Amino acid sequence: MTAEASLESVAAYGAAWVEPDATARLALLEQAWAADAVYCDPLAVVPGREALSDHIGQFLTAMPGGRIEVTSEPVRHHDSAFFRWSLTDAEGATVMTGFDVVQLDPAGRIARLTGFFDSDTGTAPTS
């Protein structure tokens, strides 16, 4: 696994969170996400690419104009990486920040993501 491959996976994963088209979103996740990968944050555990694409689609529907964006370069060692992100509303105001820790497969794709919400920025929107 190269550092470049893991950076590309994080970039494609981040792009999936702002992609409204389900087909394009799934294509991004196919680049970034191992087939059997698991997404886990305080609100959900989501196994697999298609389920994650659906989860992201539900977020985009529940929070029109909302954006989750990767806000830091991933810090990587061995088969793990860490990066920060920010959730903004349609007006661009920060609703929440947090960070994700990922385990990477041998190809540099995300095999598991565990997300954490910063406690000082409020709570996640509910659908």
Cα 78 from Cα 106, distance rounded (Å):
10
Q: Between these two residues, 24 and 127, which has the higher pLDDT value?
A: 24
Alpha-carbon separation of residue 26 from 37, 56, 64 (angstroms) = 13, 10, 19
42-91 pLDDT per residue, tens: 999 999 999 999 999 999 999 999 999 999 999 989 999 999 999 999 99
Per-residue model confidence (pLDDT) at position 7? 83
Per-residue model confidence (pLDDT) at position 6? 76
**If you average pLDDT over residues 114-120, what whole number do you get?**
87
Per-domain residue ranges of the chain: 3-121
Fold (topology level) of 3-121: Nuclear Transport Factor 2; Chain: A, (3.10.450)
2-23 pLDDT per residue, tens: 567 678 899 999 999 999 999 9
Distance of CA 104 to the CA centre of its chain: 14
Q: What average pLDDT does the chain have? A: 90
pTM for the full predicted model: 0.86
Kindly indicate the confidence band of residue 127, based on its pLDDT and cuts at 50, 70 and 90.
very low
**If you average pLDDT over residues 102-113, what whole number do you get?**
94
Cα 11 from Cα 126, distance rounded (Å):
25
